[in-house]
Structure 1
Amino acid sequence: MLLFMRLCLVFCLGTLISSLSPLDQAQAREITDMAGRQVSVPDHIKKVYSLSHPVSFLLYAFAPERLVGLNFPIREQDKPFLPKALIDLPVFGAVMGHGAAMNPEEILGLHPDVLLVWLDRFSDNDKIIQQYGKVGLPIVFVKADGIEDYPETLRFLGQIMDKKERAEQLASYIEDVLKRVEIAVAKVPEGGKRRVYYAESRDGLATDCDRSFHTIAIRLAGGDNIHHCEQSTHGGMEAIGIEDIIARKPELIIAQSRDFALGAPTNPVWREVEAVREGRVYIVPRIPFNWIDRPPSFMQGLGIQWLANLFYPDLYPFDIKAETKNFYRLFLNVDLNDADLTQILQ
């Protein structure tokens, strides 16, 4: 009888343990995410998936070995400039942005310990929790609007993912850059900020507000974005007329489209713009990722230095080749040669 009772007890315990979720079986802890929510996560987070492009990009630099999948395929020309841990990962989409929409059920097959989500003020966070929380995995929101968020976000991730040393290394670099750029910009005389137009589309007539998260890098670098307004949508890319651009007299144009940048000097309409006539149209570097926007990422740590030097070369002297090599080595663990630099900076 005693033996029978012991066997029953063992069977019941086994059934109970097998019915628990992975988080129940692992030792768990309570954290407060960057949205102020209390979340139970495993003591040791070894696998993560990001539902949002900006957070994924941050993980490319901070913890590529912990990612279990990507939001979109990596372009062939970008692969030599990225950590090898990323190259062969499967692609499963994202909550928003370009690329495929994500199927919540597919996440389970990846077996991540947590899901990370961009704390985006234009998103319906409750809807994201409802949609993706049903798979039974912890959802952790993190800030990633722009480079100003990254020191705090990196230290937060370092704390919950047991990577404090790496987090501090990257956070300290960004803080140092922000401080140096701020000091330089503070020396610009009142009313002396360079007027900048941000041209995003192939025709040059889509832009973003000066108070948009899409233009944070321009703002931090001390540029006076001529499109003065508040961001009203997540995507931005607001239409503007060429007459408005001519009237606002930008001294420089920061262009996302190579076609626009190369075509504007021979376009009689665009030659009415001072920046075009004077040859001050600059193409944003984008290998392996955009230096200033779409999506915002850690690359802004290099992008705001490039911009500050374009705007105020005397106030912010900048050896772009040396700093690019240093940045790629630190953030992407890639050593660049001269041919790489030519490809990135062309």
Structure 2
Amino acid sequence: MKTLSITALLSLLLMTMSSAGAADITDMHGRKVQVSARVQKVLCASPPVTYLLYTIDPALVAGLNLPVDDKLRRFIRPETANKPVVGAFGGGQGRNFNSEVLLAVKPDLIVAWPPRSAAPKIEQMLAKFNIPLATISLDTMDEYPTAYEFLGEALGRQERCRVLAEYFRTELRKLKAFSAGIPANKRVSVYFAEERDGLLTVSADSVHSEAVALAGGRNVHKGASLNRRGKDRVSLEQVLAYDPEVIIAQDPTFFNAVYKDSRWARIRAVRNHRVYLAPNAPFNWLDQPPSFLRLLGAKWLAHTLYPSSFKTNITAETRHFFNLFWGSRLSEQDVRTMLAL
């Protein structure tokens, strides 16, 4: 399903008010949707979209896809953390969809980021509930500004979404300019190590790897993934053949064990002590779930890969980002702990 351009999308977002107090909007996949003129409760179909909605206005969040763990609870409002768990039905985590809870929540609008082939199936599933469905696209970070602007219009939060969209565009522009200045033969090679054994990795063309390219790195696991998750099991022999300069660990168990494991000792990143644990508060900044936090994750990764040339105060950047998006005022010590500095 083709995503609309920013100009076309914004022109289509002009709302026509009906006598019944509804508004006609066109979503990011060109679908015509009729929604309440005053949307007050929104249910999102997967965690990345729920977190995106929270950054716009926590009061709009009608339900959750997953129970809130202790890490996330620290960063969100208590009233949001205690919302009912409806489950998820748009791909990703939390597919424990509960139709009874959905009916109890009674959202004015459902927002989904479906796989490109799944939107009709989701629409068909929700038809019996008579709740309007708007779809957005977050397949790349370039789409986040447009998603914010679309939701700003649909939800009546134009100014807040304008601020967030402009921040995204500005910071993406900076990252792209930095990355473009690094010759191909000078890009730091990176291996993503997932799970406790470090032998699940992400393909270079996956949404989970986008931050590597933005940070000026080169994902060693090239080519299309063997499955739709964009993640593949590999052998330790394959990692040895890749011999990455840097390993980004996603699992603390693997990170804490890798320097003690003689099987990994021959890999360049381990020999040179360039294995790093990706920040994971309130959840992973680079990968699971693929959320708006990937923008900050790309900044952290650029700083990690090129500490002498990527000029930024990552502590100050993190404090500003969490204040802007989460409404959380972190101390410098909070950030240093978060970044393991």
TM-score of the superposed pair, with normalisation by structure 2: 0.90
1:281 to 249, 270, 275: 275
2:93 to 98, 114, 117: 98
Structure 1 vs Structure 2 CA RMSD:
1.8
8 Å contact from structure 1 (residues 94, 100) kept in 2: yes
SS of structure 2 residue aligned to 1:289: coil
Higher mean alpha-carbon deviation, 91-100 vs 219-228, is at 91-100
- State the Cα deviation string for residues 261-296 of structure 1 (Å, max 9, x = none): 111111111011100111101111111121111111
Partner residue in 1 for 2:284: 290
Q: Name the CA distance, whole Å, in 2 between partners of 1:133 and 1:254.
A: 43
Return the offset for 1:124.
Answer: 2.0
Q: Name the CA distance, whole Å, in 2 between partners of 1:25 and 1:90.
A: 33
**1:124 equivalenced with 2:123 (yes/no):** no
**1:213 equivalenced with 2:203 (yes/no):** no
Partner residue in 1 for 2:297: 303
- State the Cα deviation string for residues 121-148 of structure 1 (Å, max 9, x = none): 3x52221111122100001101123422
Greater length-normalized contact order (CA 8 Å, ≥ 6 residues apart)? 1
Go from structure 1 to structure 2 and tell me whether the alpha carbon gap of 1:26 and 1:93 turns closer, same or farther (over 3 Å shift): farther
Partner residue in 1 for 2:3: none
**1:257 equivalenced with 2:251 (yes/no):** yes
**1:330 equivalenced with 2:330 (yes/no):** no
Q: How does 1:1-346 map to 2 (within 5 A)?
A: 26-95=20-89, 96-99=91-94, 101-121=96-116, 124-346=118-340
Go from structure 1 to structure 2 and tell me whether the alpha carbon gap of 1:26 and 1:272 turns closer, same or farther (over 3 Å shift): farther
8 Å contact from structure 1 (residues 83, 333) kept in 2: no
SS of structure 1 residue aligned to 2:259: helix
Q: Name the CA distance, whole Å, in 2 between partners of 1:146 and 1:245.
A: 27
Amino acid aligned to 2:187: K
8 Å contact from structure 1 (residues 146, 296) kept in 2: no
- Which 4+ runs in 1 deviate beyond 6 A? none
Q: Name the CA distance, whole Å, in 1 between partners of 2:319 and 2:205.
A: 31
Unmatched 5+ stretches in structure 2: 1-17
Larger Rg: 1
Return the offset for 1:315.
Answer: 2.8
8 Å contact from structure 1 (residues 146, 300) kept in 2: no
8 Å contact from structure 2 (residues 315, 336) kept in 1: no
SS of structure 1 residue aligned to 2:247: strand
TM-score of the superposed pair, with normalisation by structure 1: 0.89
Q: Name the CA distance, whole Å, in 1 between partners of 2:20 and 2:201.
A: 48
Q: What is the identity percentage for the equivalent residue pairs of Structure 1 and Structure 2? A: 37
Q: Name the CA distance, whole Å, in 2 between partners of 1:234 and 1:54.
A: 17
- State the Cα deviation string for residues 236-262 of structure 1 (Å, max 9, x = none): 331111112111221001110111111
Go from structure 1 to structure 2 and tell me whether the alpha carbon gap of 1:100 and 1:36 turns closer, same or farther (over 3 Å shift): closer
Go from structure 1 to structure 2 and tell me whether the alpha carbon gap of 1:62 and 1:136 turns closer, same or farther (over 3 Å shift): same
